[in-house]
Chains A and B, each alone.
Chain A
Amino acid sequence: MDIKITEELDNLLKDNGIKKEEIQEIIDNAESNGSKLEAIDGDLCIAKGCTDNLTMYAVYSPSELVDVYAHKMSILGLTGGELHDVEYDDSSDWKCVKCDEIALERNVDMTYMGVTRPGPGLVCPKCNEFYVSDGVAKTLKTAESILEEKRA
Chain B
Amino acid sequence: METIKNITSLCPECLAKIEGSKYVEDGKVYIMKKCPDHGVFITLVSNDADHYNLMEECFDVDRAGAKSSLTDVERGCPFDCGLCPSHKQDTCLAVVEVTDRCNMKCTYCFANSSMDDSLDPDMDTIRKMFETVKKCQNDPTCIQISGGEPTLRNDLPEIIKMGKDIGIDHIELNTNGIRISKDQDYFDKITSAGIDAVYLGFDGVSDDIYKQRTGRELLEVKKEVIKRCERAGIGVVLVPLVAKDYNLHEVGKIIDFAAERVPAVRGVHFQPVFYSGRSPSERENKVTILDLLEAIEEQTDGQLKVSNFTPSLMPHAHCGATCLTLIDNGGFLPLTNVSLGAVKSASDVASKTKKSIMGRWKGLEKEKESKPSCGDLLVKSSCCEKPLSDITVKGSCCEKPVTDVLPKSKPDMSGWADFIEMSKNNYLTISTMAFQDVWSYEQDRAENCCIHVVTRDGRFIPFCNYNMTSCNGDFLYRDAA
Give the interface of A toward B (CB within 8 A): 12, 39, 44, 46, 59, 66-67, 88-90, 92-94, 105-107, 110, 113-115, 117-122, 133-136, 138-143, 145-152
Q: In the complex, what's the smallest C-beta–C-beta distance from A75 to chain B, in angstroms?
A: 12
B411 CB within 8 Å of chain A: yes
Q: Is the CB of B419 within 8 A of A143?
A: yes
Q: In the complex, what's the smallest C-beta–C-beta distance from B387 to chain A, in angstroms?
A: 9
Residue count of chain B within 8 Å CB distance of chain A = 43
CB-CB under 8 A from B418, the residues of chain A are 117
Residue of A93, A107, A115, A119 near B406 (CB, 8 A) is A93
CB-CB under 8 A from A121, the residues of chain B are 411
Q: Is the CB of B411 within 8 A of A106?
A: yes
CB-CB under 8 A from B401, the residues of chain A are 134-135
Offer 9 A-B interface pairs, CB within 8 angstroms, sorted by A.
A105-B406, A114-B335, A117-B416, A141-B394, A145-B391, A149-B384, A150-B335, A151-B340, A152-B384
Q: Shortest 5 CB-CB distances between A and B: which pairs?
A: A135-B403, A117-B415, A118-B415, A120-B411, A150-B335
B396 CB within 8 Å of chain A: yes
A134-B399 in contact given A93-B408, A120-B407, A152-B346 (Cβ < 8 Å) = yes
The secondary-structure label for the interface of chain B is loop
Residue of A44, A105, A107 near B415 (CB, 8 A) is A107
Interface centre among A89, A90, A117 (most CB of B within 10 A): A117
Q: Is the CB of B402 within 8 A of A135?
A: yes
CB-CB under 8 A from B408, the residues of chain A are 89, 92-93, 105
B298 CB within 8 Å of chain A: no
Q: Is the CB of A114 within 8 A of B337?
A: yes
The secondary-structure label for the interface of chain A is mixed
Residue of B336, B399, B413, B423 near A119 (CB, 8 A) is B413
Q: How far is the CA of A64 from the CA of B406 in the complex (A)?
A: 21
* Binary per-residue interface labels of chain B (274-290) against chain A in the complex, 1 for a CB within 8 Å, 0 otherwise: 00000000000000000
Q: Is the CB of A105 within 8 A of B411?
A: yes
Q: Is the CB of A146 within 8 A of B415?
A: no
Q: Is the CB of B409 within 8 A of A88?
A: yes
* Binary per-residue interface labels of chain B (305-329) against chain A in the complex, 1 for a CB within 8 Å, 0 otherwise: 0000000000000000000100000
CB-CB under 8 A from B384, the residues of chain A are 145, 148-149, 152
B178 CB within 8 Å of chain A: no
Q: Is the CB of B406 within 8 A of A92?
A: yes
CB-CB under 8 A from A114, the residues of chain B are 335-337, 339-340
Q: How far is the CA of A150 from the CA of B401 in the complex (A)?
A: 30
Q: Is the CB of A138 within 8 A of B420?
A: no
CB-CB under 8 A from A93, the residues of chain B are 405-406, 408
Q: Is the CB of A145 within 8 A of B383?
A: yes
Q: In the complex, what's the smallest C-beta–C-beta distance from B416 to chain A, in angstroms?
A: 5
